[in-house]
Amino acid sequence: MARPEDDDEDAEALTWAGDEETGRAAPRLRDLTAETAVGEPAEADDEPEAPGSRGRRRVATVAFAVPYLALTIGWIFAVQLSDSPAQLLAAILWQFGEFLAMLAAPLWFAATLTLTRDARPRARVLALAVGFVMLLPWPVILRFLAALQLAGSLS
């Protein structure tokens, strides 16, 4: 049990000689109770989340995880299909672009999760759906369609 004289000793231990002159006489411990008191109203001001909203957001995230993984794999294959230009500057830009194209799907997914953390589930689903459509790996899809057409003409 803390005695008043213990508090005085703590305060004395946490001050330096000359603190009074420099205006730093206060104990150098953070006032945790004051911080908590400041932090609480901000949380209390947040709008209450609709019941089930968090669960729906989680379902949307899980449902889109596999398609986005497929997009990433598709872009890794797409990059293998293309030939980079012969000129040095063009080749550097091309490979930088290929690197980013491979990362586009996971980046979009991560950005959506980060930026729609407090948004409605519909906003997250919409962002993930738009990303899925925009990031379809057309080089692979077109190659696949051409192969199908070739197979159809052969049979």
Count the residues of the shown chain that bind other proteins, applying the rule CB under 8 A. 31
Residue number with CB closer to other proteins (60 or 78): 78
Residue number with CB closer to other proteins (1 or 89): 89
Contact region for other proteins (CB under 8 A) — 2-10, 21-29, 35-43, 93-101?
Answer: 93-101
List of residues 6+ apart from 58 with CB closer than 8 A: none
Place of tokens 């919409």: 126
Which DSSP helix (H) or strand (E) runs through 2?
A: none
Single out the residue of 37, 97, 129, 144 in contact with other proteins (rule: CB under 8 A): 97
Place of tokens 């949380």: 43
On whether the CB atoms of residues 57 and 124 are closer than 8 A, the answer is yes
Query: And the tokens for 86?
Result: 């012969």
Task: Answer yes or no whether residue 139 interacts with other proteins by CB under 8 A.
Answer: yes
Q: Please tell me whether residue 5 adopts helix, strand or coil conformation.
A: helix
Which residues in this chain contact other proteins in the complex, by CB under 8 A? 75, 78-79, 82, 89-90, 93-94, 96-98, 100-101, 103-104, 107-108, 110-111, 114-115, 131, 134-139, 142-143, 146
